[in-house]
Amino acid sequence: MTEPFKKSKNGLYFIDRWEKEAPGLTAGFTSKEGGFGRFNGLNMAFHVKDDLAGVQKNRIMVGEQAGITADNWVGCEQTHGIHIEHVTKKDSGRGALDYDSAFSSTDGLYTNDSGILLTLCYADCVPLYFYDNKSLRIGAAHAGWKGSVGGIGPAMIEKWKEEGSRMEDIHVVIGPSICGDCYKVGKSVIDEAIKWYGKDEMKSFLPVSNEPCTFYFSLQTFNRDLFIKAGIPEENIQVTRLCTSCSSDFFSHRRDNGDTGRMISFIGWKE
């Protein structure tokens, strides 16, 4: 499978095929290249005790590169839950240049409006991107292990179905995040993941030899499996090979021992 993300010369990763297929759509992921603030890179998050003015500057810069200015962004206070908000143009600016106005306890966003950029923060968790090429609905969700096993991916699909989306029109991308070789988890995580699988199905985790009750867990494969179970055609699902822990291009919560910056995923219709 070809890599869905292509790095631009300004250091951002864009979803290549969507940008080509859908004029006006901007969708991608930031790296840690460039930027201001205490993490020595492009930290995009307000909640990691960084310099506020530095984060604002980083956001303004990315807004120019992504084609939707930072005052028209929407952001969330993310809590590893599965709450999803339908946002409209009137929400523009919430959580854009400050944290207090962000949507509280929200890990998924979608819209039909243009001129608004949906953003979510990450350092290893999985960015999910959604695009319905008939209704032109777009969305994003933050899926760490909790959101993933909680089913935030299928929850977004369910909402879109209620709004009239057909499965064959929905396209999804699973973005840069910690890979299955870098991500070891305990049995309690696997106990939740396994509930989604039938007995003889291929699973997205493997036991670690010589480490009892420890597993390598591929959150990318897991989310892909859930999309297929939700009815998304396989050919509509693209999965990245970019790992936030393997690649020094990204902040990684695990690799950097917890104290690190955040990238954002972004998706929006330019006006």
Nearest distance from residue 24's CB to Zn ion, in Å? 33
Strands 205-207 and 170-174: unpaired
Q: How far apart are CA 85 and CA 90, in angstroms?
A: 13
Nearest distance from residue 205's CB to Zn ion, in Å? 15
Nearest distance from residue 245's CB to Zn ion, in Å? 4
Q: List, in sequence order, every residue forming a beta bridge with 122; answer none if it has no partner.
A: 263
Question: Between residues 46 and 205, which has the closer beta carbon with respect to Zn ion?
Answer: 205
Nearest distance from residue 181's CB to Zn ion, in Å? 5
Q: How far apart are CA 271 and CA 258, in angstroms?
A: 38
Question: Between residues 7 and 241, which has the closer beta carbon with respect to Zn ion?
Answer: 241
Nearest distance from residue 160's CB to Zn ion, in Å? 30
3-state secondary structure of 250: coil
Q: How far apart are CA 97 and CA 102, in angstroms?
A: 9
Q: Are 11 and 31 in contact (CB under 8 A)?
A: yes
Q: Are 89 and 73 in contact (CB under 8 A)?
A: no
What's the gap between Cα 193 and its chain centre? 19
Question: Between residues 238 and 245, which has the closer beta carbon with respect to Zn ion?
Answer: 245
Binding site for Zn ion (CB under 5 A): 179, 182, 243, 245-246
Q: For residue 244, which of 8, 30, 44, 34 has the smallest C-alpha distance?
A: 30
Nearest distance from residue 206's CB to Zn ion, in Å? 14
Q: How far apart are CA 167 and CA 157, in angstroms?
A: 8
Question: Between residues 111 and 245, which has the closer beta carbon with respect to Zn ion?
Answer: 245
Question: At CA 31, angle to CA 105 and CA 146, rounded to 5?
Answer: 35
Question: Between residues 91 and 124, which has the closer beta carbon with respect to Zn ion?
Answer: 124
Question: Between residues 94 and 255, which has the closer beta carbon with respect to Zn ion?
Answer: 255
